[in-house]
Structure 1
Amino acid sequence: MNETDNERYESKTYKTTPGKNGIICRPVIVDIRKTHFGREPQKRPSASRDIDLLKKTFNKLPWFHPEPYIINDENSVNEHDPLYSTDNLKKELKNIASNEDITKHAEMFVCVVLAFGESGYFYLPNDPINDQIRSNKPPKFSVNDLLWFFKGLFCPNLILKPKVFLIQTCNPFLVKKNKAFFSGEEEEEPSRIQRTPIEADILVYQSIVSGGYTDRMKPETKRGLGEYIDHIGNTDGQSACQFVYALYKEVTALTDKEGEFELNDLILNVNRSLEDFIKKEHYKSDERDKPWKQGPPEVPVCIDQLTKKLVLKTRQSNPGI
């Protein structure tokens, strides 16, 4: 064990001063904006605004790389694209794990996934090729497979460093109840939350608060809800999904107030914000006050085995461990 590794091992908190390349982290973002179920594409309207707010969130933290490493689905119809298939994405994740600027020369690893899916997995784009359906159901990529490439056995550059995964999976079939729903047929049993296998120094924070809850709101409803909803939007007039907006809002509040904050405090604040959004029923539909067929959204789930405190600085002039 070298001197730096020994320092990481003995410390009660994770090292959060810049590495060799002057940063503590270059975040990785998997941005999947559309997924085909048969011929029909489902699109995440909040996608561009989500990326915009994530960049602003990371830019508020000293020594975070100003440009995240982004995997997007712009060319996912190309058979060599990382999001063309699960095998391609695994190859891309393997390359990222061996990218020294993202792993060896950084002091922590952050990965964000924005896609359709459920707890425990997300969907790949599954674009039709030459009007031919590749599959009626898009391929699933499990969160466990995502984590595997950054565990100590496969990625020794990240041993003793915190690895944080922020997973936002939207429901592609978020619909309102109608008369057919009351036909007397039994409702499908909701899928059970899958437990994500983890190891020490990995934290998984997953939200299934679908962006559809806020996307379907009328503009005047968003304005009326003020700071609860990302009502300002981007040039396309779209709002961010509620999870990304809560993350941005709470990081902003913490960086404006203190010289540093602990990751657990951020998670608690985000969950309080989303719990308030849910309890006060701000997610309610505007369309004739119909309830959502899927019921109310759920507060994000956090699973971790971090062995130390993760304290993030908010002032570049205040270095330290």
Structure 2
Amino acid sequence: MKQFSVNCLFCLHCCLMNIPAELFMTHEFLPLQLLYGIAEDLTSEDVRSVKFLLQKQLPKNKLQENASMLQVFLEMERNGIIKEDNLTMLKDMLQRFRVDIKKKIDAYEGKKRENYSREEVCHPVSVSVYPEEKGAEGEAAKLHGKIYKMKNNPHGYCLILNNHIFKNPCYNREGTLQDGEAVKRVFKWLQFETVEYMDLEGKEIRDTVKEYSKKDHRYMDCFVCFIFSHGEKDKIKGVDDECVNIDDLVSYFTGTNCPSLAGKPKVFIIQACQGSGHHPSVAVESDSSGHLEVDASPLTSIPDKADILIGMATVEDYKCYRSPKTGSVYIQSLCEKMELLCPLRTDLTAILTEVNNEVARRDLKGFKQMPKITSTLLKRLIFEVPQ
């Protein structure tokens, strides 16, 4: 009988389970022997337990009864839950009901570290990654890979401007309270001083943002601002229907207007439409349910300054969606991804890209939503998770 390698066994099993080749080919860098062994060791009850624990991280259609453990592993890898060099989430789950398998992973990681140590002794690597260069290209090379300092406690303010009840009750934004709670939960966990202002008029939005730009941020690492409201192109609406230009709000935090945040990251996340158009849906799997509403709102552009990131719920000229019961598709996805990926030291731009991917895949009552990232960050922004 022909002998198969571990990789061949894994691929053979994938073929037998009708897993598309393009999915299992992505596993060429993962610890195949370990994952295959775990899948073989888990009982049917164990597999159900894993699927239950992954309900918030993976789409429901990927956790159906007929999905094998190998298929679940593939989906976990695609969503960044497991990686070659980080199996923490998998270990945490198995610790609850299969400590014996969790210990196998510990042993595997210990052996891998041992092998790496031996390789470093035999093949030392030069520490001079970027040669000294002059000019713009040299400066860019030196900045590449650097991380913004996140050492203070609190790291900074997380300001939430959340418009729920409008003067005209027809414009009330049901579900936005759930967005506010999700953001407060995540950023308090990340050691930010989190403040939420509800139902602000246009002038109050402007005055509140300006007030925070005048604060002393010398002992802060960062500033984060979430804005949830209706609006028009380039503008946010107050509950009194008065519009505020987004560019004006961001400009309060330039190096000139807010010198104590110069060189530090400023993040603005805006849940709002940028027009009245609908993205047509293509043939993709549905991943949403329930009644959805839209927020009529703005397009934004940032000043030509560094260290600013803006995450928009949708691209120009299109609507974005919010459930009155569970909150907005974009903000809820962002909070879930931050809880999952911040412990893995994933930078914010990469997290927002994951959010883009997840939101874009959803079928929203026949339409689609495509978020947008605009960034002039010069370094990677990694939120430190308290130990």
TM range (shorter): 0.5 to 0.7
Is 1:265–2:350 an aligned residue pair? yes
Going from structure 1 to structure 2, the CA distance change for 1:84 and 1:252 (only over 3 Å counts) comes to closer
Contact 1:124–1:140 at 8 Å: present in 2 too?
yes
Contact 2:233 2:274 in 1 (8 A): no
Q: Does 1:24 align with 2:109?
A: no
Q: Find the counterpart in structure 1 of residue 259 from structure 2.
A: 156
Higher RCO (CA 8 Å, separation ≥ 6 residues): 1
> What displacement does 1:95 show?
1.8
In the TM superposition, what are the counterparts of 1:1-321 in structure 2 within 5 Å? Answer: 12-18=146-152, 22-36=153-167, 39=168, 41-61=170-190, 63-65=191-193, 68-73=194-199, 83-86=200-203, 88-100=204-216, 103-118=217-232, 120-126=234-240, 138-170=241-273, 193=299, 195-208=301-314, 210-212=320-322, 214-215=323-324, 238-255=325-342, 258=344, 260-277=345-362, 281=363, 283-284=364-365, 296-314=367-385, 316-317=386-387
Gaps of 5+ in 1: 1-9, 74-82, 127-137, 176-189, 216-237, 285-290
* Residues 73-101 of structure 1 deviation map (CA, whole Å, 9 limit, x = unaligned): 1xxxxxxxxx3343x4333322211222x
What is the one-letter code of the residue matched to 1:90?
R
Distance 1:64 1:195, change over 3 A: closer
**Seq. identity, %:** 22
5+ residue gaps, structure 2, are 1-141, 279-295
Q: TM-score, normalised by structure 2?
A: 0.52
Taking only aligned residues, the RMSD between alpha carbons, in angstroms, comes to 2.8
SS in 2 for 1:93: helix
- In the alignment, is the contact (CA less than 8 A) between 2:272 and 2:298 conserved in 1? no
- Contact 1:116-1:171 at 8 Å conserved across structures: no
Q: Which amino acid aligns with 1:205?
A: G
Give the structure-1-normalised TM-score: 0.62
Secondary structure of 2:327 counterpart: coil
CA distance in structure 1 between the aligned counterparts of 2:297 and 2:333, rounded to whole angstroms = 25
Deviation of residue 211 (structure 1)?
Answer: 3.7
Higher-Rg member (1/2) = 2
